[in-house]
Structure formats: structure tokens, C-alpha cells
Structure 1
Amino acid sequence: MSNYKKNSISLVGAVGLGTGVMISAGIFALLGQVAELSGTWFPLIFFIGSIVTAFSAYSYIKLSQQYPSAGGIGMFLVKEYGKGTISASASLMMAFSMIINQSLVARTFGTYTLQLFEGEQPKWLVPLLGVVLVVVAFLINISGNSFIQTFTSGASLIKIIGLVVFAVAGIWVADFALAPAEPGSNPPDPTFISYIASVALTILAFKGFTTITNSGAEITKPKKNVGRAITLSILISLVVYVLLASAVSSNLSITRIIEAKDYALAEAARPAFGDYGLWLTVILAIIATVTGIIASVFAVSRMLAMLTNMKLIPHSHFGMPGSIQKHTLVYTVALAMILTIAFDLSRIASMGAILYLIMDMMIHWGVFKNLRITVKANPVIVLSAFVLDGIVLVAFIWIKLKTDLLVVAVSVIFIILIFIGERFFLKNETQST
């Protein structure tokens, strides 16, 4: 475990990691998808998503205070359910949801970068640029914790300031008229269920706070600073999300936001600020996606390394030199590249939301059933988080069953394969020992 450097990540560095993951694809790629499900009042959905996330964060903060660990969620699940199929499978679901998020960020990077060029560009350029970003994230991650937290913290501060300035300027151009977006021609007609389902995507935009828990053993004074970092990251992201959503809502109709859903923020810059605004938005998107994927790769590789050391997941060196952490880093970026090439933004986001919400519910149930006394958690808050996640998940799956059955089918099959694979692996592992 010598690769985990105690006290190597400060409170500011931890907040930088959290906001680095959150304020990336969270606003640039998901804003249009949220508008598609919720219509004219979509900025409010981000606020509702933050409330659901706050309930969820409570469990993670309580667990982090009791069990600060570089394994983060993997360690939490072991404490809740023991070393078995449930904890191993849920841990892998979390890891895969984070890798899925990396591919979401990567494709967002490609989509926004192409906005700098006039005319329609070949579609294959989006995944190609995304793969390039994943490679860059890999190279930066092998440089060590100190550089990562310095880079992500500095870049996160730049992008947050830039995005807030952009949002305020966009609202100013609209004469501070914070009214719902104009519907446009043939706007969607959201139902109550679609409103609830849209919250699932905003939760995906906030889930980057879990990156902080995966670095618990490396954060200074983890019992205090993990909770502080999570709270600050969520609050900072909420302010940025609501401001940006309001700016887009003030400058584009719902129909136009949906048409340009993969690059809605860049599209909103065109009428408000012209070419200069477009360039600024794309530059901020590039900074946001770069920091997001670097921080996410950092967290996932360490989580997988911890699970490997705990003998909860299979591992092969494939002839590679170096530590297990370096190997899991390679596996992480390789899978992220495959997903970046194989799926579009909407499907990537949907799969990530389904996997994350199921895993999140397992975390809350484990706290409520097995650890609420140990970690001194309020059972009402924990159970509320479980129920809220369940309501949002059911609504989201219901909408996707009607609009994109393939996403639900692939997600269900993937989850079943994870459980079967872990059951088989752990059974053999037990017999061999």
C-alpha cells in the first residue's frame, strides 16, 4: 500500500478533485438532455437534483468519517456487507459508472472542440478527440498526486470563474429576465414521470463528489476534510449549474436547446456573444472536460487497486511492469476508450445514471441495515436517501423503456454479468485458499 501517500491531498485539492469531475460533462453534456425531459423549467431540476444528492452525500460523509480509505466506496461496501458478492459487485458497478462518466466527458470534449470549426464535421472526429483526451489523462495520472491536485485545483478555479462570468453575462444580455425558456416550435410536453426521470441525469452531474471518498486515505485530516470537501463541491457545482442553466434558458428556446443538446452551452453563446463567446465557451468546456477526466481516472484506478488488494476482483498483469495501481490505471483508460468509441452521449449518460443509482441505493441500505449505529447516522435521513433514489430510478427506467429499450437491456445484462462473474470469481478464490 506504499503507493497511497497519506496527507498528500489538501482540502483545496480534494475540492478541486470533486468539482473537477462534477463541473465537466455534468453541465456541458447533460444540460440539453435534462431540458429534453423537463421542458421550460429545466434549471430548477438541477436544484432538485442537488437536494437528492445532499441526502445521498450524508451516508458517504458518515462512512468517510468512520472509515477514511483510499478504497472509498469499495471499502464502505465491505464494511456494510462483508467480503462477498454483494460488496464486490456493487463496487464494480460504481467503478464502471465512473468509467462510463469518463467516456461521457471524453465525447463532450470532442463535441465542443468541433464547434470551433465551421460546417459539419465528420462524426468519427468526436470519438477520436475523446480517445486523445483519455490518453492525455493517462499520461498526467502517472505523474503523481502532487501534480494532479495542483493541476485540477488550478484548472477547476479557472473554469468555475469563467463559467460564472459567462452565466452572469448571459443573464445580463437577457436583461436579467429569469423567466422560463421560450418553448419554440413543437416543444416537448413533459409528464410528471419525465420530470422525476430528469432528476436522474442531474444526480449524475453531481455524483462526482464520490471521487473525494475514493481518496479518503490520502486527504489531510480525512475525518473532517472529506465531509467538508464533499459539501463544498456540491454547493459550488450547484451555483454554477443553476447560473448556467438560467443563462441558456434566457437565450435559447427549449426546441433549440434540445436540437443542440450535445453542445447547448456553446449554442447559447452564439446569439449572446457571437464568435468571441463561442470561443470562450469551447475553451472552458475543454478545461472542464480535461480536469474532469483526469480527476475521475485518478479516483477509479485507486478504487480498483484497493479492490484488487482486497481480492474482491480478478487481476492480471498481462506482462506489464509496475504496481497494481499502474495496471488498474491502464484498464480504466482502455475501457473508457472503448465506451467513447461505441456509444453516443445520451446512451452513455443513461447507462451511467442507472448503474450509479442502483449502487447508491445499496450504499444507503447497507448503512441503514448494518452500520447506522456504528457510523452514528440518522436512520431517517439515510432511508430518505434510499427512497428518493428509488423513485428517481424507477421513473428514469420507465421513460427509457418507452424511448430507448436498448439502454435498459444493456444495463440490466451488464449488472447480471457483474454479479455472476463476481460470484464465480469469489467462489474460486475461496476454494483456492
Structure 2
Amino acid sequence: MSAPDGSGGPSLSRRLGTFDAVVIGLGAMIGAGVFAAFGPAAAAAGAWLPAALAVAAVVAYCNATSSARLAARYPASGGTYVYGRERLGPFWGHLAGWSFVVGKSASCAAMALTVGAYLRPDHAHAVAVAAVLTLTAVNYVGVQKSALASRLVVAFVLLVLITVVVTGAGADRGAARDAVAPVGVAGVLQAAGLLFFAFAGYARIATLGEEVREPATTIPRAIPIALGVTVAVYLAVLLTLLHVLGAGGLAAATDPLARAVSAAGVPGLAPVVRAGAVAAAAGSLLALVLGVSRTTLAMARDGHLPKALAAVHPRFHVPHRAELAVGVVVAAVAAVVDLRSAIGFSSFGVLVYYAVANVSAWTLSAAEGRPPRLVPVTGVVGCLVLAATLPGASVLAGAAVVAAGGLSYVLRRR
């Protein structure tokens, strides 16, 4: 059977149903972000954090739906790098790929800092650098997470989150509940942009077009289910943290879930929560370094990044130069930035990436499976608004790096 992209290669087996697609989506979304993003977001929105979560979820749904329709049309690897190139032109494909690489590199740093915050809060940066270097070495020799390991990590993380919610339900209300005042609509939007980080991976379902049965109906059905379950879990955890720690305590914590069970009077559970956070963050970091290095490889092959990064190791069959380059950059970032800055910068790059995806989806015709017009419109407006309302330093740094990527394309073409 030929591949759907016309390459003549073998296609993947269509063996996944709706339930399988939902489980894969949950595994991609319910990860380390829930352990890290609520603190920085609380500093922006205070007790209005649930409203920010709702805004982030709506934008995530639009992005995932647009990506799903594009993935059905262009099943090749590369995501919005491919969609932007095919629908809008090479420049926009390059800009999407560049935004993905820089945004997800910052995500890697945030995941590493999450490992440090929960494992050794007093030496978070040193632990983060060690985690990046270790997992880069693991990827270098071609060792990847197995599907079973991924499911076990997700099950463990869900168990930890349920434990936090149940433990916090009977705790006294946090004294610092009103210590952080909401900053109006701007504060809610900024928090939504930061919480967007916690939904990382939601578009994984959109890439399953070649592996699910009846993808035209299965994928659109699985996306809202997976997002709905994730939002419900996140909302339960968020309300618990606000109840136990208060908005001020949540805003001040880099390891809020561990602090919550201790504040609830069950400090013996804190090591279990820390273990769950470390497992989730390490798993996410491993997958992120893998994904960023592969996108770097694709862009290097197309001439959008230095050709030297396209080298594949003759023994381990991995893009070793791309992986080393990504590892060095991420380690350097993790050594000097704080968690809030890493999350903000990551969100900026990823929001630009999905803005291109939504514009690309807008250009689809009805015969090509275009989503309802409201979806890409809401998606692109939401992405741009959330990106613009992120912390000022993240916006300036993100805009400068994205502009540098666009300039590099123009100079290379000339």
C-alpha cells in the first residue's frame, strides 16, 4: 500500500479508534506543564486563574482542530512547517519551523527547570543542566521512550494529581488566597498565555491521520474529548491549589503541588508528588529534545538552517549534530533563566507557530476539509492576542528571535 503523500512508501496501519486517539492525546497533554505553569499564571491573574484556563483551552481547541484538518491534507512529518510552506509559501513555513524550534527549545529549558524545582529546589539550575545533558546523551545513542513507559508515566502522573486533589479537598483555605489582586482582562490574558504552556502536546492527535480508522470523523471527535478531560483535570488541580495555597502562595511557589500536600497536613505525600513531577518533566524533556532535533534536521536539509546540522550518525542513526546543538542551547538557557521566563518565551514561540497553522487552515477549501471559518479565525486572533499579552520580557525576546529567523530567511534568499 502506498503512502498517502504519494511517496510510494508503505503506509502506517489504521488500527486506532476514538478511544485510542483520546488516550494518546491525554498522554501528550497531561504531563509536566501542570506541575509548572500554575505558579507563574497565578502571579498574573490571581484568583481569576480558572477564567484564564478557559481562554487557553478555547485557543488550544481551535489550534488542534485547524492542525487536524491540515494534517489530513498533508500527512508528511513537519507539522506547521509543512502546512505554512504548502499553503502560504516558503517564508511562512520557515517562520513556523523557526518559531517551533526556538519555542520548544525554551520548553525544554522549562521542563529541565521543573525537574530541578521538584528534585532539588535549592540547586534547581544545576539539576536542570544535568538533566538536559543526561537526556541529550540518551537521545544521542538512539534510546527513546517506549509506548508502555509513556503510559506508565501518564498513569502515575494522573494518580499523583488525583492524590493532590483529594488531599487538598479537606484542607483549610489558604491564608494567602487574596494576596495577589487580579490585573483585569490583561492579567487574565497573560495568565492564559502562560497556561497555554500546560497544553503542550494537544495537537498530537492531529498527526494521527495515517494511523486511525476513519480519520475524518475519529480525529474531530477525539480532540474535544481529550481536551475536555484535560481541562477538567487541570481545573480540579487549579481549584485545589487556590484553596490550599491561595493565589499568593501559588504565585510564589516553583513546586506548588508538593507544597500543597504539605500545607494540607500530609507532608509524607510530598516525595511522591515530587517523584511524579520529575518523572513527567523528564519524560517531556526527552520527547521535546527528540522533536526539536528532528525539526532542526528537516530545516537543515531544506537549507533553512546550517547544512551541517543535517548529519545523521552512521552507527546510532540519529541526527547527532542537531541533537548536540539543541542540547547545548537548552542547557545554556536552563542555566541562566527562571521558570517563568522560560515558560513565557516558550509560549510566545509556540503561539506564533499555531497562528501560522490557523491562517493555513483558513486557506483550505470546503473540498479540502476546511474547518468552520470561526475556528481558524478564533485561533489566529487568540494566538496573537495571547502572545502580545505575555510578560513584557518574553514578548520582546520572542519577537526579536522570531524576527531574526525571518531576517535570516530573507538574507539567505538574497
TM-score by length of 1: 0.82
* Equivalent pair of 2:300/2:306 in contact (CA under 8 Å): yes
Residue deviations 1:227-259, cap 9 Å, x none? 566545433432221111111112112222222
- Once the two structures are superposed, the pairs formed by residues 95-134 of structure 1 within 5 Å of their partners are 95-115=101-121, 121=122, 125-134=123-132
- Matched residues, number: 404
Q: Which runs of 4+ in 1 moved over 4 A?
A: 1-21, 142-147, 181-186, 215-222, 224-233, 317-320, 370-373
Identify which range, 228-237 or 406-415, moves more after superposition: 228-237
For residues 160 and 337 of structure 2, what CA distance do their matches in structure 1 show?
30
- RMSD in angstroms over aligned alpha carbons? 3.3
For residues 210 and 327 of structure 1, what CA distance do their matches in structure 2 show?
27
Return 5+ residue gaps in structure 1 as ranges: 116-120, 429-433
- Once the two structures are superposed, the pairs formed by residues 256-335 of structure 1 within 5 Å of their partners are 256-260=249-253, 262-317=254-309, 321-322=313-314, 323=317, 325-335=319-329
SS in 2 for 1:316: helix
SS in 1 for 2:369: coil
For residues 309 and 45 of structure 2, what CA distance do their matches in structure 1 show?
46
Residue deviations 1:276-309, cap 9 Å, x none? 1211211111111112112222322232333333
- Once the two structures are superposed, the pairs formed by residues 47-62 of structure 1 within 5 Å of their partners are 47-62=54-69
Q: 1:79 — aligned with what?
A: 86
* Equivalent pair of 1:49/1:199 in contact (CA under 8 Å): yes
For residues 305 and 218 of structure 1, what CA distance do their matches in structure 2 show?
22
Deviation of 1:218 after TM superposition, in Å, equals 7.7
Distance 1:370 1:21, change over 3 A: closer
Q: 2:45 — aligned with what?
A: 38
Deviation of 1:14 after TM superposition, in Å, equals 7.0
SS in 1 for 2:355: helix
* Equivalent pair of 2:355/2:383 in contact (CA under 8 Å): yes
Q: 2:154 — aligned with what?
A: 156
For residues 245 and 256 of structure 2, what CA distance do their matches in structure 1 show?
9
SS in 2 for 1:71: coil
* Equivalent pair of 1:26/1:205 in contact (CA under 8 Å): yes
SS in 1 for 2:124: helix
Percent identical: 16
Q: 1:407 — aligned with what?
A: 394
1:359 matches 2:353: yes
Q: 1:118 — aligned with what?
A: none
For residues 10 and 246 of structure 2, what CA distance do their matches in structure 1 show?
49
- Once the two structures are superposed, the pairs formed by residues 232-251 of structure 1 within 5 Å of their partners are 233-251=226-244
For residues 313 and 13 of structure 1, what CA distance do their matches in structure 2 show?
36
Q: 2:387 — aligned with what?
A: 393
- Once the two structures are superposed, the pairs formed by residues 209-228 of structure 1 within 5 Å of their partners are 209-211=202-204, 213=206, 216=208, 219=211, 223=215
Identify which range, 286-295 or 13-22, moves more after superposition: 13-22
Distance 1:55 1:8, change over 3 A: closer
1:379 matches 2:385: no
Return 5+ residue gaps in structure 2 as ranges: 1-6
- Once the two structures are superposed, the pairs formed by residues 136-155 of structure 1 within 5 Å of their partners are 136-141=134-139, 147-155=145-153
Identify which range, 32-41 or 233-242, moves more after superposition: 233-242
Deviation of 1:34 after TM superposition, in Å, equals 1.3
Q: 1:339 — aligned with what?
A: 333
What is the one-letter code of the residue matched to 1:410? A
TM-score by length of 2: 0.85
* Equivalent pair of 2:113/2:128 in contact (CA under 8 Å): yes
Residue deviations 1:258-286, cap 9 Å, x none? 222x1122211112143212112111111
Deviation of 1:418 after TM superposition, in Å, equals 0.6
Deviation of 1:382 after TM superposition, in Å, equals 1.4
* Equivalent pair of 1:16/1:156 in contact (CA under 8 Å): no
Residue deviations 1:60-106, cap 9 Å, x none? 11111222222222212222223x22211221101211111111010
For residues 373 and 178 of structure 2, what CA distance do their matches in structure 1 show?
47
For residues 218 and 198 of structure 1, what CA distance do their matches in structure 2 show?
35
Q: 1:431 — aligned with what?
A: none
Deviation of 1:9 after TM superposition, in Å, equals 10
For residues 303 and 366 of structure 2, what CA distance do their matches in structure 1 show?
26
- Once the two structures are superposed, the pairs formed by residues 17-32 of structure 1 within 5 Å of their partners are 18-20=25-27, 22-32=29-39
Identify which range, 186-195 or 334-343, moves more after superposition: 186-195
Distance 1:106 1:226, change over 3 A: farther
For residues 175 and 13 of structure 2, what CA distance do their matches in structure 1 show?
50
Deviation of 1:358 after TM superposition, in Å, equals 2.1
Identify which range, 20-29 or 339-348, moves more after superposition: 20-29
1:187 matches 2:158: no
Q: 2:3 — aligned with what?
A: none
* Equivalent pair of 1:64/1:223 in contact (CA under 8 Å): no
Deviation of 1:374 after TM superposition, in Å, equals 2.4
What is the one-letter code of the residue matched to 1:89? L
SS in 1 for 2:181: coil
SS in 2 for 1:70: coil
Q: 2:245 — aligned with what?
A: 252
Distance 1:154 1:108, change over 3 A: same
